[in-house]
Structure 1
Amino acid sequence: MAKFQDYNSALICFDPECYEYLKTSQNGKIVNSLTGEVALLERNIILGGLLGIGAPASVAFTEELIACGIKRFVFLGTAGKLHDKLKAGDRVICEGAFSDEGTSKSYPGWKEESFSIGNLQNELKTFLRISSKSVKTVKAWTTDAPYMETKSKLFYYLDKGADVVEMEASALCALAKYRKVEMAQMFIISDSLARGIWEPYFEQEILRNSLKEAGISLLQFLAMVDQKG
């Protein structure tokens, strides 16, 4: 597997439309297709996307990038809110996740609740505040079965302290801990499961704009971190 010389950082974008926007606007050069697509950007940042959804796909792609020499990852995806303290298009940073998926159990030291390790997410929060970008911190319920987000599970994970539901975070936390790589995860609120009623926001302009703006901000953040060394 080829190494990416002089590249240490990657932004992985789960939303295909946002990925294509970032790749085009940043003049990304496609150099390799692993289990997802890889594009080289200016300032020695890798952009990854088109990898599918869920824990197995995200972990497989990230494992491959680690094998290629990448040591720092920021993930940008979407999540459904579990309560009404969040709204459509909100940016949130994941500080921890509850595993309702199988991939993380393959990594040593599995626990139901996992946390983001390292200082990268704190640096990201500081960067966003300095840039006057509003951001909230959340815990995620990570599921393998998006069509089985039942009321009983909703209330179980609310009681645990979850704020959002998505499909990758807990597995990525387990991977980052095991491989000892830096990681931060940001979600944009794309739908609601509050009170057990599903409400989608996928076609709302605020979601599309929030994803694009977040992607640009995260690329600026990674460029700053790389410059600091």
Structure 2
Amino acid sequence: MIHNEFDPERKAIINPEDSFHRPDGDFPEICVGIFSKPIMEWLLEKYGGTEISHFGCCIGAVPVYKVSAFGTEAAVFMPFVGGPGAASTMEESIPMGGRYYVYFGAAGVLQKGISHGRLLLPTAAVRDEGLSYHYLPAAEEVELDPRDVQACREAMDGLGVSFAEGKTWTTDAFYRETRAKTARRREQGCVSVEMECASLAAVARFRGVHFAEFFYATDTVDDAGWDSGVLHEKGAGLEEVCFRVAVETGKRMRAARSE
């Protein structure tokens, strides 16, 4: 199988350190990736931000902003949707100076007991996508670094935020989330389904940077079918809590490494 062809060679033919866009000024070590345009627009309106770099793409450049909030600076950007695109934002920002990564966005839940709008903390990701197999040997799952997960857990607890935790199912094909596959993922301990976590976790481990992710539950996928829930709201009402959790997680990851 082609997924068994992992090559540990560190140097590829094309490397992010050779092609990234050099930032204008100092680049923050804490990086926050937001999978929501409305949340990004809200953030920039409330906290401001200076564009310091961008990710190049054939559909247009994606800006990276330096934002000052909660006693620190963070590089904030909207990743591309899907494992390869999201992973490219991590790859290209590491040479800029990024070290502590927190991404957040919507996820479907696999259990009716988890209410829409609740935050979800993944501890591991089922690798039902392709990109992670180029960064790690083949395996069904990738565990997120427990210390980075703990940083996010402590950030939520410290802010009094209710959340559920468990494994997440990262898939490339949301139109192929069948009942049989969904049941299998629940048996594996998955509480959510999304499209990027396994890819980002694999890149972070391969590159030696720190990574945590959390989601806000928007819809439900189970044996009864699909309940679209609050997916159309794109995180409305969760802007402040999500951004605060993300920045506090980054600060805790950074502080833990300096002790």
Asked if these proteins are the same fold (TM beyond 0.5), I'd say yes
Distance in 1 (CA, whole Å) between partners of 2:252 and 2:129 is 34
What TM-score do you get using the length of structure 2 for normalisation? 0.81
- 1:38-96 Cα offsets, whole Å, 9 max, x none, are 001122211011x3210011001110011211110001111000111211001011110
The equivalent position to 1:175 in structure 2, one of 203, 219, 227, is 203
Which residue is equivalent to 2:65? 39
Between 1:112-121 and 1:178-187, the stretch displaced more is 112-121
Asked whether the equivalents of residues 188 and 211 of structure 1 are also in contact (C-alpha less than 8 Å), the reply is: no
Asked whether the equivalents of residues 99 and 143 of structure 1 are also in contact (C-alpha less than 8 Å), the reply is: yes
Asked whether the equivalents of residues 74 and 183 of structure 1 are also in contact (C-alpha less than 8 Å), the reply is: yes
- Corresponding letter in the other structure for 1:38: V
Asked whether the equivalents of residues 90 and 210 of structure 1 are also in contact (C-alpha less than 8 Å), the reply is: no
Deviation at 1:227, TM superposition (A): 6.5
Q: Does 1:10 align with 2:31?
A: yes
| Larger proportion of helix | 1
- Corresponding letter in the other structure for 2:63: E
Larger Rg: 2
The equivalent position to 1:103 in structure 2, one of 131, 135, 139, is 131
Alignment of 1:91-130 (within 5 A): 91-117=119-145, 119-130=147-158
- What is the number of residues matched between the two proteins? 227
Deviation at 1:210, TM superposition (A): 2.2
Between 1:195-204 and 1:57-66, the stretch displaced more is 195-204
- Corresponding letter in the other structure for 2:104: L
Which residue is equivalent to 1:202? 231
Distance in 2 (CA, whole Å) between partners of 1:143 and 1:222 is 26
Asked whether the equivalents of residues 123 and 146 of structure 2 are also in contact (C-alpha less than 8 Å), the reply is: no
CA 1:212–1:196 in 2, change beyond 3 Å: closer, same or farther?
A: farther
CA 1:132–1:57 in 2, change beyond 3 Å: closer, same or farther?
A: same
Alignment of 1:45-64 (within 5 A): 45-49=74-78, 51-64=79-92
Distance in 1 (CA, whole Å) between partners of 2:233 and 2:35 is 18
Between 1:178-187 and 1:127-136, the stretch displaced more is 127-136
Alignment of 1:76-95 (within 5 A): 76-95=104-123
Distance in 1 (CA, whole Å) between partners of 2:119 and 2:64 is 24
Between 1:126-135 and 1:82-91, the stretch displaced more is 126-135
- Give the 3-state SS of the residue equivalent to 1:208 in structure 2: coil
Unaligned runs of 5+ in 2: 1-19, 57-61
CA RMSD of aligned residues (A): 2.0
Distance in 1 (CA, whole Å) between partners of 2:187 and 2:249 is 34
Distance in 1 (CA, whole Å) between partners of 2:39 and 2:115 is 20
CA 1:156–1:211 in 2, change beyond 3 Å: closer, same or farther?
A: farther
Deviation at 1:225, TM superposition (A): 5.3
The equivalent position to 1:161 in structure 2, one of 177, 189, 192, is 189
Asked whether the equivalents of residues 150 and 196 of structure 1 are also in contact (C-alpha less than 8 Å), the reply is: no
Alignment of 1:127-166 (within 5 A): 127-166=155-194
Between 1:213-222 and 1:182-191, the stretch displaced more is 213-222
Asked whether the equivalents of residues 18 and 211 of structure 1 are also in contact (C-alpha less than 8 Å), the reply is: yes
- 1:81-126 Cα offsets, whole Å, 9 max, x none, are 0111211001011110101111111113231111111512202211
Deviation at 1:213, TM superposition (A): 2.1
Deviation at 1:221, TM superposition (A): 4.0
Deviation at 1:138, TM superposition (A): 2.0
CA 1:225–1:177 in 2, change beyond 3 Å: closer, same or farther?
A: closer
Q: Does 1:29 align with 2:50?
A: yes
What TM-score do you get using the length of structure 1 for normalisation? 0.91
